[in-house]
Amino acid sequence: MSARLNRLNPFTRSGWIIAAFAFLGLTLALAVVDRLNPIGRTRADDRSVIVTAADGTLLRAFVSRDGKWRLPVKPDQVDARYLRMALAWEDQRFHDHPGVDPVAMLRALHQLALEARVVSGGSTITMQVARLMEPRERTLPAKFAQMARALQLDWHLSKNEVLELYLTLAPFGGNLEGVRAASFAWFGKEPRRLTVGEAALLVALPQSPERRRPDRFPEIAKAARDRVLKTLAERGVITAREAKEAMEEQIPSRRQRFPFHAPHLAQELLAQNKGRDPVIASTLDASVQAKLEDLARRERGYFDDDANIAVIVVENATRNVVAYLGGANFWVNAGQVDLGKASRSPGSTLKPFIYGIAFDDLVVHPQTLIDDKPTLFGDYEPRNFDRGFQGTVTVARALQQSLNVPAVALLDRVGPIRLASVMRNAGAELVFPKKGAIPSLPLALGGVGISLRDLTMLYVAIPTGGEVRPLRFRMGDEPGEPHRLFGPPAAWYLADVLKGANLPDGWSMGQGIERDRQIAFKTGTSYGYRDAWSLGFSNRFTVGIWVGRADGSTRPGHIGRNDAAPLLLKVFDLLPGEERWSSPPPDGAFVAQNAEQLPRALQRFRRSTTLVAGLKRIQPPRIAFPPNGATVSLENPKKPQALPLKAQGGRAPLRWVINGLPLESPSLIGDTWWTPDGEGFARITVVDADGRSDTSQIRLKAEN
């Protein structure tokens, strides 16, 4: 090798040395320039924030800070034929040059010298990206700066990343930037699938976006598009037949609207987007959301009193919200108010939770007999909606028919403060008519404010074994901490009872008609006919419906059964199919066909309102240990020691219930022992002979 070098002409050797030093000097100069003038934050960082469905479908977009529709997009989200045509038209050697194409530059200079005018530009896509990122006046120094930046971009970024910047920043007329925004505005669709004519128009527009705007200058736009088609056909990028057919395609005459789905939720997710992520992936199902919005618009047209609709659909297993409607029309008066978050009186829709706690405490069973008759609770005398009474009925029927006196009687036993605490601990926000008011018996009939979101969150606990978790609106969010409303047996009782709820007029389930999906549901109507509710669940989904007026005014004659329940059933018809419900009774559930098959204490519910003459009233039971909210240390979590359970008051015998399951034998003196399974949370309830109860939520934790 050295002998060969020695045979080289000395001038040749010197030339190689000079070239090597020149290359090294140029490289060092570029490195210094790169160090002194790094790629900083530019217009490319100010993209439109978009909210998508779980599968990436665009739901709603927001303009960038400088007022542009600059939607983020990646090359694999764009039609491959368009990419091929754009590269062939703008930069044929894009994948081969280092950001600046010397061949194209020499060709442009040669044509300028021959024709005395600009015939073709030497600008590469990378140079265009540099200009779009940092707009400058079109001067010779600006051109050199643009070339230097292009070399820098190619040095730091992959070709795919440079192409992504071009697809995001290229101008397409007005405040449209990027191929995704242009495709939505001119064709009303994502750029994944474009016709040859559509692709050619998008290739032509960035060269002169204002002069070629299709909505203002359709003839100029068509001529530019056809010129692209003809040239690319001559180059063999497309066939002559494709070019001829594409030239016959119509030029769009106006801009189309961007997708505008789930606007209330999208606005909320944008407000929570502190990191200004350009893409917010929600948990919504795009297809279900679109169908829901169409249904709501049609249904709202049937109301003649300016009523509005809010709907939420949740997947039970994941708590993912798959569809959300904060109102049926975003553009009407008060349409921007998210009615899914508004606090409203829930009517009778809280009754299942009263029954669930009563089931959990072994106060009643679905087949327990209970009286529905005129009853005074102090100075409070509840009446049924129809002002009549049913007499003695089963607890199951009392809930199915939403009878008021049985619900209030059970709440009197369970305790309104306890019911409110259970719902609040699960994450529901309750708003009472007066600030600082103590929960009382009217809570059973809707004497509190709660949002559709929170109420639906609570209802998801019924088909999932009594456990509440926060709803998830955004992909990637961690599941929240669980809170137990009641045990699996109580949840199973509730689901079984609510499956038998009477359908609204005109709907049939049974009588030889098999529905694809078994639905359990409950309706409610607030005082003064202000709010109509229906909440229901299948094995896979839970749906919450609210119908009312945004200003909270009355709607005489409108009730949940007639307004909300039919809509709930129609929403379930929009959802993906599922297997028919089959849930065997969980451990601890007692299956009975009638009251006679129940233990004596559960056969009939009686209020403890009378005293034996001369005897002192016995106080309700109270758990002395472990106290509510306590953390109990375990010496050995793998072999936990037995814990004492102590209670005071109550009429013997006392029964202890742990996480919905009763201990084997009652306690005559109130004290007993319980061996936990290990670390975790436990719900301990004591019930006396009169059905009165007290509950402690505790945490079991290993000693440090």
Q: Among 694, 670, 673, 667, which Cα is nearest to 683's?
A: 694
DSSP-derived pairing of the beta strands 369-372 and 680-687: unpaired
- Cα torsion through 138, 140, 145, 149, rounded to 10: 70
Q: 261 near 59, Cβ under 8 Å?
A: yes
Burial class of 27 by CB neighbour count within 10 A (0 to 12, 13 to 18, 19+): exposed
Cross-strand pairs, 646: 625
Cα 521 from Cα 498, distance rounded (Å):
6
The packing angle between helices 80-90 and 196-204, to 10°, is 40
Q: Are 374 and 381 in contact (CB under 8 A)?
A: yes
Separation in Å, CA 295 to CA 29, 302, 323, 536: 65, 11, 12, 18
Q: How far apart are the first and last CA of the chain?
A: 73
Active site residues: 90, 348
| Interaxial angle between packed helices 351-360 and 416-425, expressed in degrees from 0 to 180 and rounded to the nearest 10 | 100
> In angstroms, rounded to a whole number, what is the distance separating the alpha carbons of residues 240 and 237?
10
Read off the amino acid at residue 399: L
What is the Cβ-side half-sphere exposure of residue 153, based on CA atoms within 13 angstroms? 32
Q: Which candidate, 315, 317, 314, 316, places its Cα nearest to that of 325?
A: 314
Helix (H) or strand (E) holding 623: strand 622-625
Q: Write down the residue that tokens 């949002």 correspond to.
A: 451
Handedness of CA 182, 188, 191, 196 (dihedral sign): negative
Q: Nearest Cα to 540, choosing from 522, 517, 563?
A: 517
Which residues, at least 6 apart from 620, have a Cβ–Cβ distance to it below 8 Å?
A: 649, 650, 688, 692, 693, 694
